[in-house]
Amino acid sequence: MSQYEAYYPLWEKLNIDAAKLEGALGAAQKRHADLFLTQADRPKAMGYFDDLWGNLQTGRIAELDKLKSEGKPLVGTFCIFVPEESVTAAGGACYGLCSGSPASIPEAEKELPRNICPLIKSAHGFKLLRVCGYTQSSDFIYGETTCEAKKKTWEILAKHHPVHVMHIPQKKDEKSMRLWREEVEEFQEHIEEVVGRKLSFEEHKKGVEIINAKRKALRRLDALRGMHGDIMPISGLDSLLVMQLSFIDEPVRFTEALNTLCDELEERINAQKSVFEKETTRLMILGTPFAAPNWKLHQIVESSGGAIVNEESCIGHRYFKDDVNLEGVTTNEELTARMMERYKNIDCACFTPNEARIEKIVKMHKERQTDGVIYYTLSFCHTYNVESHLVAEAMKKEGIPFLAIESDYSPEDAGQIKTRVEAFIESIRLKRGA
């Protein structure tokens, strides 16, 4: 009897290809076990996140189904510009869609070009194969215009699932911000249509408070893992898993579990307990996001004498670095204005110019005193790829060791990347005279 048998009726209701999903889950669980559970000295509180990974397409999907039966909106997204605060305000769930696996890419390439970003192809393939409970559950997928391959893929994805597209501008001047605000307001109206009523200011505020608290807990993790010098109480791999799950889990419960983990990490720091050896090379990752289960670079770095202490990515620091400032806010209009202030500070490479990002990277490096940075670009992501030239220039000026890696989801380049990462770490050590 299948261990997933109890979920077959739910999967079938969601038009999931149950046999295929079961096969995929087996592989995903094994990979998680091999990479994560074999790590020495893991924090005990990681158990919550391991369990959540185990329930990704079962227990959590059942929770979403319950929300849906209560008339709450389920919104699937691929970008931190889609306002999860507003979905949370409506009691619904806003989550990141499956998009991190190479397994779904061949199917996607029947409709999409090969030479676009693997994240988009993976996500499209999950829909075509019907093996992601999040995609299948969602009332609609909220696409956006932050990258052109995504922007055009929505037109094809819309043949298979309801898709709405939020128009994110490419500049941040006043007229662009006005357009963007109108788009956010339309999104909020769309959510209100799903729930069938206007949301009160108190509800909107509550939504922001819940997500602010989640972001605060993620910042706490970020400081604990990377701002205590040689004492690194958690691996980059584990931290990445937590951040990936921050786009999936119920936010209040997640925040509580993350704060429990952070309490444990604080104890470890007080006890000077690190999961890495003293001379480990401390690295920061810049660039494009790591959607689960894309753990390739972290696995390579942390098995090559390196430790990853921060990801300057959308699944990472870019997501949680800023809160919506609620101080003195008394109306929905003021609240939306404050949300826009926060959005304006998100330094996605889709904007031109995007100089604030470079200043921020230098600041992040100084806060963490890392030994170097790895600029990670998902293959064919033009915005982050072209911008890497300016970042590399700035790093050179600051004397920060810099390595650029462009990669997709295939395991084929893992050996080559490992060789380059090892050489990079070795060159840093030689410079330090270690």
The token pair at 58 is 């079962």
For a copy of itself, the binding residue among 1, 44, 173, 196 (CB under 8 A) is 173
Cα separation of the two ends of the chain:
56
CB 280 within 8 A of CB 309: no
DSSP state of 97: P
Phi, psi dihedrals of residue 342, rounded to the nearest 5°: -65, -45
Asked whether position 154 contacts a copy of itself by CB under 8 A, the answer is yes
**181 sits in which H/E element:** helix 174-195
Candidate segments 49-57, 97-105, 164-172, 335-343, binder of a copy of itself by CB under 8 A: 164-172
Angle at Cα 163 formed by Cα 20 and Cα 324, nearest 5°?
105
Asked whether position 189 contacts a copy of itself by CB under 8 A, the answer is no
Candidate segments 59-67, 173-181, 301-309, 327-335, binder of a copy of itself by CB under 8 A: 173-181
Asked whether position 353 contacts a copy of itself by CB under 8 A, the answer is yes
Phi, psi dihedrals of residue 329, rounded to the nearest 5°: -80, 130
52: left (phi over 0), alpha (psi -120 to 50) or beta: alpha
Asked whether position 295 contacts a copy of itself by CB under 8 A, the answer is no
For a copy of itself, the binding residue among 5, 34, 70, 155 (CB under 8 A) is 155
CB 311 within 8 A of CB 370: no
Query: Cβ closer to a copy of itself: 57 or 99?
Result: 99
Residue 333, CA atoms < 13 Å, CB-side half-sphere:
0
CB 309 within 8 A of CB 282: yes
CA–chain centroid gap for 414, Å, is: 21
Helix axes 236-245, 201-226, angle to 10 degrees: 170
Residues in the chain: 434
Asked whether position 184 contacts a copy of itself by CB under 8 A, the answer is no
Asked whether position 47 contacts a copy of itself by CB under 8 A, the answer is no
For a copy of itself, the binding residue among 13, 30, 66, 167 (CB under 8 A) is 167
Asked whether position 396 contacts a copy of itself by CB under 8 A, the answer is no
The token pair at 367 is 């806060």
Asked whether position 385 contacts a copy of itself by CB under 8 A, the answer is yes
Asked whether position 152 contacts a copy of itself by CB under 8 A, the answer is yes
User: How many other C-beta atoms are found inside a 10 Å radius of the C-beta of residue 193?
Assistant: 10
Asked whether position 350 contacts a copy of itself by CB under 8 A, the answer is yes
CB 371 within 8 A of CB 350: no
Rounded alpha-carbon distances, angstroms, from residue 279 to 266, 407, 426: 21, 28, 12
Asked whether position 386 contacts a copy of itself by CB under 8 A, the answer is yes
Candidate segments 54-62, 81-89, 220-228, 348-356, binder of a copy of itself by CB under 8 A: 348-356
Count the residues of the shown chain that bind a copy of itself, applying the rule CB under 8 A. 43
Least spacing, CB of residue 181 vs a copy of itself, in Å: 10
Asked whether position 145 contacts a copy of itself by CB under 8 A, the answer is yes
Interaction pattern, residues 57-76, with a copy of itself; x per rule: CB under 8 A: --------------------
The token pair at 41 is 């000295």
The token pair at 352 is 């031109």
Which residues 104-143 are close enough to bind a copy of itself by CB under 8 A?
111-113, 115-116
Least spacing, CB of residue 108 vs a copy of itself, in Å: 11
The token pair at 414 is 């893992």
Query: Cβ closer to a copy of itself: 111 or 264?
Result: 111
The token pair at 359 is 């200043």
For a copy of itself, the binding residue among 254, 276, 380, 409 (CB under 8 A) is 380
For a copy of itself, the binding residue among 26, 27, 70, 170 (CB under 8 A) is 170
**281 sits in which H/E element:** strand 281-287
Asked whether position 354 contacts a copy of itself by CB under 8 A, the answer is yes
For a copy of itself, the binding residue among 13, 66, 363, 389 (CB under 8 A) is 389
The residues binding a copy of itself (CB under 8 A) are: 111-113, 115-116, 145, 147-149, 151-156, 165, 167, 169-171, 173, 175-176, 178-179, 182-183, 349-350, 352-354, 379-380, 382-383, 385-390, 406
